[in-house]
Structure 1
Amino acid sequence: MQQHATSISKDLIQRYDTAAPRYTSYPTAPQFHNGFSEADYRTHAELANNSLLPRDLSLYVHIPFCHSLCYFCGCNKVVTQTTNNKVNEYLDRLLREIRRRGQLFGADRLVTQIHFGGGTPNFLSAEQIHLILDEIAQQFHLDLPHKLEIGIELDPRSITPKGVHELNQQGFNRFSIGVQDFSAPVQEAVNRVQNEADTVDVIEAALAHSKSVNVDLITGLPRQTVKSFADTLDKIIDTGATRIAAYNFAYLPARIKAQRMINPTELPSTTSRLALVALARDKLLAADYVHIGMDHYALASDSLAEAYRTGSLQRNFQGYTTHRETDLIGVGASAISNFATAYAQNEPTLSKYIELIDSDKLPIVKGLSLSEDDRIRHAVIQQLMCRHQIDLSAPVGRLADTDLHTSMSDYFAPELTRMAQLAEDGLIELDQARLTITETGRFFMRSIASVFDRYLPQSQSGQVLPFSRTI
């Protein structure tokens, strides 16, 4: 499908600038509860092992340490300047957790993807990263080297092109580099000052070693303007980065203490934020990037664009991914695991995480066993977020692997009735056989998906309480 630049009316902005989840999971994280135990996790792991066709595994490794505090960041992190005893203690417990997790999965559960996130994964030395990779190789069964994807998030302020080369020598073949914005006033406002030339050198070094290099940008930051962000986009496009994620800034100072350091009067207005989002889309489409979904773009040659074309695209806690229908195994503080039937989250606080590991336990503190309805709605939201359409004539069981023969249109009759306004506003095309998100609707995918979310808590004004605004 050819993609075009789109203008958005102020009426649509006012109507749909609500708060909603990003749907990296369904049900979303606020539904996880502390009644979910390690025993529950083991039960769901065994259930996954015993399925007729066990799914491959994707491993997420959380490294929480950062050299400095970025005011916009909502990730689970610990700010420290040097590799100290705290870091060494964490690394030791992380290796222990990897050993315990590996014991739960048999030889037929191949690891096809490993991703290091944070925090700042390259806070660790090359030797420390090697220890983690070596432990994973010993405890899990890895796919063939030419099929195995090993990715890492990089802070370009604390790595050189030589460091990128060293990571590639260890097996890393996908890199994600944080930029956010090259504008000096924006960088000062969010306490993330980074040298533009050094950053470009790191991006180019990554491209020399990988066919898939992502750059993270953020729209809606304080002091950001259309002109300044256009300059940043032009410079990133010129590097040839194969993927670009232009995330909408989630301003939640009540929940994220670091964001209280941001002057709210310097944030762009709703209209300006949408102009920044539209600018990113227009420039990236003009530069031959494919709009994968929400805030993700990729060149046609990138594996993410290929996954989008072939229908194998998936959305999880790392955003969009090429690996469809894998079980996600999260290790490290705050990491989340996901089976077809459950979610489980690790303890986020370092000291408590270490205590649980020292007690010979998996550090699971909350989670959720999925009901049949959860799995059906999860599948529908995945379809919307990754393929932008739903076959309403199909039986529910075909999409969500259940025994239900009810058609999608019958199962979701109340939701489809509520979508009449979305169709009238041009966000979706809707008939008896199919629901399709339009080009305009791409800007409001979170609002569209939220119609299928039966957990969504709402205030009397209709605003969703615990989530960031969609624009």
Structure 2
Amino acid sequence: MQHTISFDPDLIRRFDVPGPRYTSYPTADRFTDAFSAPDLARHLGRIVSDSGLSLYFHIPFCNTICYYCACNKIITKDRTLSAKYIDYLGREMAMQAALLSAPRKVQQMHFGGGTPTFLSPEELGKLMASIRQHFELQAGGEFSIEVDPRKVSAEYVALLAQEGFNRMSVGVQDFDPQVQKAVNRIQSVEETRLVIDAARAEGFKSVSVDLIYGLPHQSVERFGKTLDTVLAIQPDRLALYNYAHLPTRFMPQRRINEADLPLADEKLQILQLAIEKLAAAGYVYIGMDHFARPDDELAVAQREGRLQRNFQGYSTHAECDLLAFGVSSISKAGGAFSQNQRDLDAYYAVLDQGALPVMRGWALSEDDILRNAIIQALMCDFALSFPALESRFAIRFADYFASELEDLRDLAKAGLLDLDAQGLVVSAKGRMLVRIIAMVFDRYLRSDQAQRRYSRVI
């Protein structure tokens, strides 16, 4: 089933509160340092499925700093840093792979950052050789990489294809010169087109473009021009992220003048314009901040009820156990989440001791698994079947979720969803606020007395 959205500014203003993005449940801020390397080792040994693995590699290095960025990154021009990092990724891979009892077939792989294309051709080749030493990349798998067009040539794109990458995500954010200067990311349309054209020439199956709304100096008119330019390039997917200004948490954002940010009403108008332009161009709404052409794999998976969500966003392979490598990366394997050390020196030090570089994690309970299934269904399908959940988890929905049902009735009265004894369906105007509905089922959020620091829903 394909989903449409209806933009209701009054409803958005009412429910635009801070909330998790639900790339996992429980969310990463719930992980605990009571979960350690031996726990991850035990859960890795429990992987028995032959449905294939998903791999994630975090490459933290960037040549320059983008002021809006909230990623775990290291700003440097010292190439020796990435060479050393590749060696340690190889050591971490060897340790994790040795703990697996199931076949090491990989259906999905993603390089994120930072800037993965910071790696030199030699470093990229060395890392890919190490991956193939420990894992078997399957024919027809999804192998994607985040690309900064400012540092990538057509020859580098050809190398990516040669190494097996067949999907890419291209950072743009905004083409307006004043906006680019304010966030310290000067990027021309020409160099962006060069990378995307090269990817298509090399047979990449999907090219995604990332945009951000809410940046300094943005206006409806200016962002409309950026959208027109991007739509002329015709990416297969488009992500439209909300800029969350949290300078107390992310130091680079302190270089952004808060007075230059668009006011709340204009920000909503920018979002509305983007949604209207994307719909007019034929893009379908996947969920959250993602759009895709009707023939894209995500759109097809959504129509067929196969869409999933994980730490990389929407996916067609989230049923795979996810093994993650590098600083701050998060695995989901054998019924547990595990996050690596965030600090590079700490990451190296633990590996030097011959241990997995685990900083914190979480072993999933039966209740976690149930609520995760519910949140996945809401985020991906915009619907929930109570009988299906009752059959799968041997519960009576009305009894297990009595308190949650009261909250759902209030959201139904507000127009976010339709609710009956058989389940719920998120309304067209409630789909942009699906995180609000998912939050109803977050047991930790419901019982949390502390103020959590999340970005706003819109």
TM-score > 0.5, shorter chain as reference: yes
**Superposition deviation, residue 394 in structure 1:** 2.6
Q: How many Å separate the matches in 2 of 1:4 and 1:389?
A: 13
Q: How many Å separate the matches in 2 of 1:423 and 1:259?
A: 37
1:241-298 per-position Cα deviation (integer Å, ceiling 9, x unaligned)? 1010111112221211111111111112222222222222211111111111011011
SS at match of 1:419: helix
SS at match of 2:327: coil
- Of 118, 121, 127, 1:126 maps to 121
Q: Which residue of 2 aligns with 1:24?
A: 23
- Asked if the contact 1:396/1:411 (under 8 Å) is kept, the reply is no
Q: How many Å separate the matches in 1 of 2:223 and 2:22?
A: 26
- Asked if the contact 1:312/1:324 (under 8 Å) is kept, the reply is no
Q: Which residue of 1 aligns with 2:137?
A: 142
| Aligned pairs (5 A) from 1:280-429 | 280-339=274-333, 341-396=335-390, 398=392, 404-429=393-418
Q: Which residue of 2 aligns with 1:401?
A: none
- Asked if the contact 1:376/1:396 (under 8 Å) is kept, the reply is no
- Of 58, 67, 73, 2:69 maps to 73
Residue type of the alignment partner of 2:181: E
2:176 is the alignment partner of 1:180: no
**Superposition deviation, residue 109 in structure 1:** 4.0
Q: How many Å separate the matches in 2 of 1:271 and 1:451?
A: 27
Instruction: Provide closer, same or farther for how the CA distance between residues 397 and 347 of structure 1 changes in structure 2, counting only shifts above 3 A.
Output: farther
SS at match of 2:445: coil
Q: How many Å separate the matches in 2 of 1:55 and 1:33?
A: 29
| Aligned pairs (5 A) from 1:228-307 | 228-307=222-301
Residue type of the alignment partner of 2:453: P
Q: How many Å separate the matches in 1 of 2:345 and 2:5?
A: 49
- Asked if the contact 1:330/1:337 (under 8 Å) is kept, the reply is yes
Residue type of the alignment partner of 2:198: A
**Superposition deviation, residue 459 in structure 1:** 8.6
1:4-62 per-position Cα deviation (integer Å, ceiling 9, x unaligned)? 5633143x23320100000001100110111101111111112223xxx4442100011
SS at match of 2:146: strand
Q: How many Å separate the matches in 2 of 1:27 and 1:369?
A: 10
SS at match of 1:315: strand
Q: Which residue of 2 aligns with 1:197?
A: 190
Q: How many Å separate the matches in 1 of 2:388 and 2:61?
A: 47
Q: How many Å separate the matches in 2 of 1:168 and 1:175?
A: 10
Q: Which residue of 1 aligns with 2:211?
A: 217
- Of 75, 82, 90, 2:85 maps to 90
- Asked if the contact 1:207/1:241 (under 8 Å) is kept, the reply is no
Instruction: Note the residue ranges of structure 1 that are not aligned, 5 or more in a row.
Output: 399-403
Q: How many Å separate the matches in 2 of 1:54 and 1:411?
A: 33
SS at match of 1:148: strand
What is the count of residue pairs matched by the alignment? 457
Instruction: Note the residue ranges of structure 2 that are not aligned, 5 or more in a row.
Output: none
Q: How many Å separate the matches in 1 of 2:368 and 2:102?
A: 29
TM-score (norm 2): 0.96
SS at match of 1:207: helix
Q: How many Å separate the matches in 1 of 2:440 and 2:108?
A: 32
Q: How many Å separate the matches in 2 of 1:349 and 1:324?
A: 27
**Superposition deviation, residue 183 in structure 1:** 0.8
Q: How many Å separate the matches in 2 of 1:467 and 1:153?
A: 24
- Of 92, 100, 104, 2:95 maps to 100
- Asked if the contact 1:393/1:432 (under 8 Å) is kept, the reply is no
**Superposition deviation, residue 425 in structure 1:** 1.8
Q: How many Å separate the matches in 1 of 2:54 and 2:74?
A: 25
2:6 is the alignment partner of 1:6: yes
Q: How many Å separate the matches in 2 of 1:2 and 1:346?
A: 37
**Superposition deviation, residue 405 in structure 1:** 1.6
Residue type of the alignment partner of 1:71: Y
**Superposition deviation, residue 149 in structure 1:** 1.6
Q: Which residue of 2 aligns with 1:469?
A: 456
Q: How many Å separate the matches in 1 of 2:230 and 2:6?
A: 22
Q: Which residue of 2 aligns with 1:153?
A: 146
Judge which range, 325-334 or 107-116, deviates more. Answer: 107-116
1:54-85 per-position Cα deviation (integer Å, ceiling 9, x unaligned)? 4421000110000001111111100002312x
**Superposition deviation, residue 105 in structure 1:** 1.9
**Superposition deviation, residue 131 in structure 1:** 1.1
Instruction: Provide closer, same or farther for how the CA distance between residues 443 and 167 of structure 1 changes in structure 2, counting only shifts above 3 A.
Output: same
- Asked if the contact 1:69/1:191 (under 8 Å) is kept, the reply is yes
Residue type of the alignment partner of 2:248: A
Residue type of the alignment partner of 2:116: P
- Asked if the contact 1:48/1:340 (under 8 Å) is kept, the reply is yes
Instruction: Provide closer, same or farther for how the CA distance between residues 34 and 280 of structure 1 changes in structure 2, counting only shifts above 3 A.
Output: same
Residue type of the alignment partner of 1:451: V
2:436 is the alignment partner of 1:440: no
TM-score (norm 1): 0.93
Q: How many Å separate the matches in 2 of 1:392 and 1:331?
A: 37
Instruction: Provide closer, same or farther for how the CA distance between residues 459 and 29 of structure 1 changes in structure 2, counting only shifts above 3 A.
Output: closer
- Of 150, 154, 164, 2:157 maps to 164
1:366-409 per-position Cα deviation (integer Å, ceiling 9, x unaligned)? 001111111111110000001110001234451xxxxx421334
Instruction: Provide closer, same or farther for how the CA distance between residues 331 and 5 of structure 1 changes in structure 2, counting only shifts above 3 A.
Output: closer
- Asked if the contact 1:394/1:407 (under 8 Å) is kept, the reply is no
**Superposition deviation, residue 120 in structure 1:** 0.3
1:323-352 per-position Cα deviation (integer Å, ceiling 9, x unaligned)? 141111000011100025210000011111
1:108-161 per-position Cα deviation (integer Å, ceiling 9, x unaligned)? 342111111100000001221111111111111332x2x222111000000022
Q: CA RMSD in A?
A: 1.8
Q: How many Å separate the matches in 2 of 1:362 and 1:3?
A: 42
Residue type of the alignment partner of 2:163: Q
